[in-house]
Amino acid sequence: MKKYRKLLIIICLILLFIFVTLCILYAFYLSPVNKSSDQIEVKIASGMSSQEIGELLEEKALIKSDKFFVLYLKINGINDLKAGTYNLSSNMPLKEIVQNIREGNSYNDSTITITFKEGINFREIARVIADNTNNSYDDVLNQLKDEDYLKSLIEDYWFLTDDILNSDIYYPLEGYLFPDTYEFRSEDVTVPEIFKKLLDQMDLILSSYKETITASSFSVHELLTLASIAEKEVNNSADRSKVVSVFLNRLDRNMALGSDVTTRYGLKLDDMRPLTKSEYDSSNPYNTRNSNMTTLPASPIATVSKSSIEASIYPADTNYLYFISNIQTDETFFFENSRDFEAKKEELAEVNSGY
């Protein structure tokens, strides 16, 4: 009898130890990650599972364990988490974070959504911002005149370098703001806040290619410049790597790129009328139709899609020196010699109406 009593006491002590340990762990995982009150934006998309939400919160360092998060929801029978954009902080206990997400983001009903399209230039970006926020067109352009601001960005982002400080560049952040649809806190959002969100997204995109970019003979600035020209030249993303190969082949042969879209950019033309001979011959840091300019233009000329970035990093291996597109069908034709190119150009003259 004594033997069983002793065994029972040992079992009870073990169970008590396990219970106390579980209580301590439960309290630990319920507690805040740290004491920081800095707000962290979390976007929970419609249809996200509890596991996905937990992983997102752990990635943002707002909770200690995504697995405990899911367990907590099951223990408490919580299944009504709402999609939305939340401003949370890592000094909030898990219970408070869950309560916020259950209540939804009605507190943030002034949120606005802005779409920045692929292939638009900085003037168009400024117009989009002016149309959707309380910032003016000039507010956006003037932000880029602040050299201290630009230098602070160079310190914050690995892909921004002193290249953007070149005085020949029209708009220092041209080509560096990633085009996408973004949410902002309200129409009172500042221009630096907008730029930060677009630069953060560009950082996310470029970082996945960082090793390849670092090993490249071209700088990030040059790669984005090539990507932006390809973005503007052809609509079919599948053709962009061949377009980049044309430009690289021409650079290797000390030939001008001969790109109309750079000429338009250099002249600050946003309309699509045919260019005149004097415009083709004009001299500026962007006009690659001028035969005397046998380098890349001073900077990118537009926002760039992921496909254009990939085209500049992984160009096709070709001997092409020329290309021309049918503007009605978006079909692009590539050539190794000027004779075949000129023949196709003549064939498409009426279709392309002088472009």
Q: Which two tokens stand for residue 138?
A: 């000039």
Residue 46 phi/psi, 5-degree rounding, is: -60, 135
pLDDT of 272 over the 90 cut: no
* Last residue of one domain, picked from the residues 54, 81, 108: 108
pLDDT given at position 28: 82
The model's pTM is: 0.71
SS3 (DSSP) at 277: helix
Report the CATH number that the domain containing residue 38 is assigned in CATH.
3.30.1490.480
151 and 278 part of one domain:
no
Say if residue 106's pLDDT is above 70: no
Residue type, 109: D
15 occurs within a structural domain:
no
Q: What percent of the chain has pLDDT over 70?
A: 96
Handedness of CA 232, 115, 125, 156 (dihedral sign): negative
Residues 136 and 197 in one domain: yes
With respect to residue 212, please indicate whether it lies within any of the assigned structural domains: no
pLDDT band at 354 (very low <50, low <70, confident <90, very high): low
CB 333 within 8 A of CB 323: yes
Please give the residue range of the domain that contains residue 323.
Answer: 217-352
326 occurs within a structural domain: yes
Same domain, 144 and 188: yes
Q: List own/partner pairs for 218-221 with CB under 8 A and 24 or more apart.
A: 218/312, 219/161, 219/163, 220/159, 220/161, 221/161, 221/163, 221/164, 221/299, 221/300
Give the pLDDT of residue 12: 75
Q: Are residues 308 and 224 in the same domain?
A: yes
Examine residue 17 and state whether it is found in any structural domain, yes or no: no
* 98 lies in the same domain as 116: no
Q: How far is Cα 40 from Cα 189, in angstroms, rounded to an integer?
A: 16
Same domain, 83 and 116: no
Question: Which of 78, 108, 138 delimits the end of a domain?
Answer: 108
Last residue of a domain, one of 207, 231, 257: 207
| Spacing of C-alpha 186 from chain mean position | 21
Whether the predicted pLDDT of 3 surpasses 80? no
What pLDDT is attached to residue 82?
86
Question: How many angstroms separate the CA atoms of 288 and 264, rounded?
Answer: 10
- Secondary structure of residue 92 in the 3-state scheme: coil
Query: Rounded CA gap, 324 and 331, in Å?
Result: 9
- Partner residues linked to 43 by β-bridges: 85
Pair 188, 225 in one domain: no
* Number of structural domains the chain divides into: 3
> Looking at residue 4, what is its pLDDT?
65
334 in helix, strand or coil?
strand
Residue-level pLDDT at 288: 96
What pLDDT is stored for residue 55 in this prediction?
A: 92
For all residues of the chain together, what is the average pLDDT? 91
Q: Predicted confidence band at 2 (pLDDT cuts at 50, 70, 90)?
A: low
Q: Hey, what are 16's tokens?
A: 């008590």
Residues 304 and 229 occupy one common structural domain: yes
* Confidence at 355, pLDDT banded by 50, 70, 90: low
Percent of the chain whose predicted confidence (pLDDT) is above 90:
65
Task: For 122-148, write each residue's pLDDT tens digit.
Answer: 999 999 999 999 999 999 999 999 999
Q: Are 266 and 297 in contact (CB under 8 A)?
A: yes
In whole angstroms, what is the distance from residue 314 CA to residue 212 CA? 9
- Say which residue, 181 or 79, is predicted with more confidence: 181
Model confidence over 176-222: pLDDT tens digits?
Answer: 999 999 999 889 999 999 999 999 999 999 999 999 999 999 999 99
Give mean pLDDT, residues 98-117.
80
Q: Are residues 91 and 51 in the same domain?
A: yes
Residues 98 and 125 in one domain: no
Is 145 a member of any domain?
Answer: yes
pLDDT at 36: 84
**Residue 343 contacts residue 254 (beta carbons within 8 Å):** no
The 10s digit of each residue's pLDDT in 305-336 is 999 999 999 999 999 999 999 988 889 999 99
Residue type, 267: L
* Residue 21, pLDDT score: 72
14 part of a folded domain: no
Q: What is the pLDDT of residue 197?
A: 95
Is residue 191 situated within a structural domain? yes
In this structure, the chain runs to a length of: 355
3-state SS, residue 32: coil
274 versus 108: the higher-pLDDT residue is 274
What's the DSSP call for residue 354?
Answer: T
pLDDT of 107 > 60? The answer is no
Residue with structure tokens 């939400």? 53
pLDDT the model gives residue 105: 64
Do the domain assignments include residue 164? yes
257 and 335 together in one domain:
yes
Q: Which of residues 331 and 8 earns the better pLDDT score? A: 331
Same domain, 348 and 260: yes
Q: CB under 8 Å to 5, separation ≥6 — which residues?
A: none
Residue 332: its pLDDT value, please? 95
- CA 39, distance to chain mean position in Å, is 22
Q: Please choose, from the candidates 107, 113, 65, 109, the residue with its C-alpha nearest in 3D space to the C-alpha of residue 88.
A: 107
Taking the mean position of all CA atoms in its chain, how far away is CA 313?
A: 16
Helix (H) or strand (E) holding 98: helix 94-103
Among the listed residues 311, 326, 328, the one whose alpha carbon sits nearest the alpha carbon of residue 240: 311
